[in-house]
Chain A
Amino acid sequence: GAGVSQTPSNKVTEKGKYVELRCDPISGHTALYWYRQSLGQGPEFLIYFQGTGAADDSGLPNDRFFAVRPEGSVSTLKIQRTERGDSAVYLCASSLPGHDSTDTQYFGPGTRLTVL
């Protein structure tokens, strides 16, 4: 079956602009995560959705970052007034939490954001 997909695969923008990154999770997966990965580092948690609601948004770095998942499947990560430090690969993952905590997360290929 189809895995997690993310669009666009690459996004180049100018400092101060607004960007939207899209994630299509695996069908039926109720949990959706956004991570950010900078060069040479592991993925850094941003936000976690269970269904339509954000269950944990403690990883969002500031109020320029916002994410939605209005119908419980597709999610959009929105970044306002982008800064050069926002440049990173943004990863989305989805999972189907089970009763035995084996909620393995399946990752998409990521969106590489470059802010000039």
Chain B
Amino acid sequence: DQQVKQNSPSLSVQEGRISILNCDYTNSMFDYFLWYKKYPAEGPTFLISISSIKDKNEDGRFTVFLNKSAKHLSLHIVPSQPGDSAVYFCAASEGYGQNFVFGPGTRLSVLP
């Protein structure tokens, strides 16, 4: 049973537009969430995080929104750039020092 779900295996967006990647989780004990980006033949790279005491965290073009009641988070990228094309993983943990559970990933393609 997947505790972290990313129901869209792929997403295509035009350059300059907004990319919205979604993530749902089932474990109500999760209280810390991260997004990672992965290019082919490289390890995942940390992008942005959010803890359960917040509902939004912003870093440049990247914003993560957390809806605890819906057990849903989303990553917004605006404006999208071709270099953003990668696989994006959502990950969650039950807190400090706990291992992370990853979703299956969403492949984002930003078209020039």
Contact = CB atoms under 8 A, between A and B. Distances in A.
B95 interface: yes
Given A93-B43, A104-B46, 9 more contacts: A33-B100, A35-B102, A40-B9, A41-B105, A45-B100, A50-B97, A56-B99, A102-B49, A106-B46
A108 interface: yes
B25 interface: no
Interface residues of A, number: 28
Given A31-B97, A55-B97, A101-B96, A43 B49 contact: no
A67 interface: no
Nearest to A97: B97
A43 B99 contact: no
Interface string A84-104: 000000010100010001111
A33 B99 CA distance: 8
A103 B96 contact: yes
B45 interface: yes
Interface of B: 4, 6, 9, 32, 34, 36, 41-46, 49, 51, 89, 91, 95-105
A25 interface: no
B51 A101 contact: yes
Interface in A41-80: 41-45, 48, 50, 55-56, 59
B43 A109 contact: yes
A4 interface: yes
A49 B41 CA distance: 25
A39 to B, nearest CB: 11
B4 A42 contact: yes
Task: From A43, A55, A102, A104, name the one whose CB has the most chain B CB atoms within 10 angstroms.
Answer: A43
Contacts of A48: 99
8 contacts: A40-B9, A42-B89, A43-B89, A103-B96, A103-B97, A104-B34, A104-B46, A109-B43
Nearest to A47: B99
A56 B94 CA distance: 13
A44 to B, nearest CB: 7
A13 interface: no
